[in-house]
Structure 1
Amino acid sequence: MATFGQIIFASMITLIVIFSALIILILALSLSGTLSEVISTNTLPVANLGEDQLLSCFLSTKGQPAGLTDVAVTWEKTGLTGLVYRYQNGALDLADQNSQFKGRTQLFLDALTTGNASLLLRGVARSDEGEYTCSISSSGGGGKVNIYLRTAAFSAPTFKFTNGTLAAEASRWFPKPNVTWSNYDRLILPGNTSFTSNSAGIFSVVSTLQSINVSDTYTCRMENDLVTGISTVTVAGTDVSGNTYFTYSAASSLPTSTYLSLTTSVLYIYYVT
């Protein structure tokens, strides 16, 4: 039979456990309205060389008013000396900006109070490829997100139909793509493809398909490890019409420390000749 002292001791332990649980619950409830995280709508973007690329970065807050204050944003690139971009204390702070990014980066300052810290990178070059970190702090919380930028060159082909031959010409591809033709029934057709590269290593592509049936629909697929361009082409007399869309790979060859998420983007281009 337990002694009076043992009963008192057990009761005190029970009360301590109960009060601890209540304190944890109260703290959790009080903080639940201020949870925040930094997210990106695309952590594996593929930039078209020479064109501008948006690196998305947003502060997602729970239970916070619409307008954030005291917003500070820092963009960094792994392995780079200096910063990509910084905004703090209500002004730009580019004193430590790496020369690679001078005059090529921009935040949308009017959007910072909504948590939008996306970075516009102008005229993407191969040297821009790599891992970026977007860090945000504000009255509504903060955090960081990693984004791995990949670079490629790709363009939609133009099509011509002459003397029973359908030709596809694309001016910019890198890495070098594979080209495949197929008919409406997805049967692979024998095409003839040639490549020419310029001093920057960018390939122009010319691919032809013979023995075309007028009024039939064909598919021309240009793809490398990063980008796939799929063109659906209809031949009607001497006219060619169709559309092209691009998809981007999940980049399974990225460093294992980078990303497990997968994002695929699609761009449609319509043409009539």
Structure 2
Amino acid sequence: MASIGQVIFWGMIILIFLVGGLIILIFCIAFTRTQTAFVESRDASPVGNIGDDVMLDCSFHTSGAGGEPANAVSVTWEKAGLSGVVFRYRDRAAQLEDQNPQFRDRAKIFPSVVATGNVSLLLRNVGPRDAGVYRCSVTAPSGRGSDSVNLRVAAYSSPRFTLLEKSLSAEAQRWYPKPNVTWTDHVGHALNASSHFFNNSAGIFRIVTTLLDPVRNDDTYTCVVCNNLVSSVSQATVTERGVMARTYFTFNLAPTLMPLHLAFTTPLHLWAYCLLT
């Protein structure tokens, strides 16, 4: 039978091994996190607004402060599931012989900044079929690598508020996918409202929503229009002269994740309602 001293001794040995292993693990994690990929995107899940332009971020690490020789950098953008390239740059010029027709005259990078490591792609007039995973591949004297960008596509617009005989309404012209609408008062209590959705031939919705209860001067009401990609949060203050409103947009990292940031505090149950429907 082991003595108390032996138990303490072996206990200390085991503890030393555990602490040592934990320290090694921490150093390994810290070291791994400091390793930066040669090619990376600082915005891996952008949301493009239908009809607008969107920038797909991609950059690579140059060998020094002076950058890379421009004629020694080649860049290829591709989209998963499509033949051909989205855009190819080589020898200081676009090489578009095998460009997919979907991106003709709609995609470009900026040659003046390629040598500094910026190879982001500008995609013009975004539409629903542009959604998907894009891969940015770079070959340069300092290395080679690639990274992916998952482009999500939506339509969103700020609502316009009108006040008619103490009845507050909001109309938003462009939303896709179909959103949800919620109203709250200045302390976050849910309010009753009537909302109507009208979609055009492209499937984009126009929303008209009206509070069912009379509103009061100098009170502020919050209208949230949201789907699983984007949310607009509007604060409308009723005054004797009409309505003063401001709107903030937030974008979700992924359909099942919370937004990256909030412009201001919004009740969590409203976000859950937007994300789960």
| 1:238-268 CA-partner distances (Å, limit 9, x unpaired) | 3211211111112246xxxxxxx99837799
| 1:99-140 CA-partner distances (Å, limit 9, x unpaired) | 000000111110101000000000001111100000111122
In structure 1, which of residues 230, 233, 252 is the aligned counterpart of residue 233 of structure 2? 230
Amino acid at match of 2:127: A
Gaps of at least 5 residues in structure 2 are 1-35, 265-277
Assess, with a 3 A threshold, how the Cα gap between structure 1 residues 200 and 267 changes in structure 2: closer, same or farther: farther
In structure 2, which of residues 182, 201, 207 is the aligned counterpart of residue 199 of structure 1? 201
Question: What is the alpha-carbon distance in structure 1 between the residues aligned to residue 37 and residue 253 of structure 2?
Answer: 27
Aligned alpha-carbon RMSD (Å): 2.0
Q: Which residue of 1 aligns with 2:53?
A: 52
Structure with greater proportional strand content: 1
Amino acid at match of 1:53: V
Assess, with a 3 A threshold, how the Cα gap between structure 1 residues 60 and 265 changes in structure 2: closer, same or farther: farther
In structure 1, which of residues 254, 260, 264 is the aligned counterpart of residue 260 of structure 2? 264
Do structure 1's residue 170 and structure 2's residue 172 form an aligned pair?
A: yes
Q: Map of 1:82-97 to 2, 5 A cutoff?
A: 82-97=84-99
Counterpart contact for 1:36–1:142, Cα < 8 Å: no
Assess, with a 3 A threshold, how the Cα gap between structure 1 residues 122 and 262 changes in structure 2: closer, same or farther: farther
Q: Which residue of 1 aligns with 2:142?
A: 140
Q: Which residue of 2 aligns with 1:78?
A: 80
Q: Which residue of 2 aligns with 1:218?
A: 221
Counterpart contact for 1:230–1:244, Cα < 8 Å: yes
SS at match of 1:100: helix
| 1:47-99 CA-partner distances (Å, limit 9, x unpaired) | 011110000001134x6232212111000000101000000122210000000
SS at match of 1:111: helix
Question: What is the alpha-carbon distance in structure 1 between the residues aligned to residue 258 and residue 149 of structure 2?
Answer: 12
Amino acid at match of 1:206: V
Q: Which residue of 1 aligns with 2:110?
A: 108
Q: Which residue of 1 aligns with 2:250?
A: 247
Q: Which residue of 2 aligns with 1:8?
A: none
In structure 1, which of residues 125, 128, 132 is the aligned counterpart of residue 127 of structure 2? 125
SS at match of 1:150: strand
Q: TM-score, normalised by structure 1?
A: 0.78
Assess, with a 3 A threshold, how the Cα gap between structure 1 residues 68 and 263 changes in structure 2: closer, same or farther: farther
Counterpart contact for 1:36–1:141, Cα < 8 Å: no
Assess, with a 3 A threshold, how the Cα gap between structure 1 residues 252 and 164 changes in structure 2: closer, same or farther: closer
Q: Which residue of 2 aligns with 1:29?
A: none
Counterpart contact for 1:52–1:122, Cα < 8 Å: yes
Q: Map of 1:54-69 to 2, 5 A cutoff?
A: 54-61=55-62, 64-69=64-69
Q: Which residue of 2 aligns with 1:151?
A: 153
Amino acid at match of 2:246: N
Assess, with a 3 A threshold, how the Cα gap between structure 1 residues 265 and 240 changes in structure 2: closer, same or farther: same
Amino acid at match of 2:191: L
Assess, with a 3 A threshold, how the Cα gap between structure 1 residues 124 and 100 changes in structure 2: closer, same or farther: same
**Which structure 1 residue ranges, 4+ long, deviate > 4 Å from structure 2?**
265-268
Question: What is the alpha-carbon distance in structure 2 between the residues aligned to residue 58 and residue 195 of structure 1?
Answer: 41
In structure 2, which of residues 188, 191, 195 is the aligned counterpart of residue 189 of structure 1? 191
- Percent identity (aligned): 42
Q: Which residue of 2 aligns with 1:42?
A: 43
Question: What is the alpha-carbon distance in structure 2 between the residues aligned to residue 262 and residue 131 of structure 1?
Answer: 21
The structure whose Rg is larger is 1
Question: What is the alpha-carbon distance in structure 2 between the residues aligned to residue 110 and residue 96 of structure 1?
Answer: 23
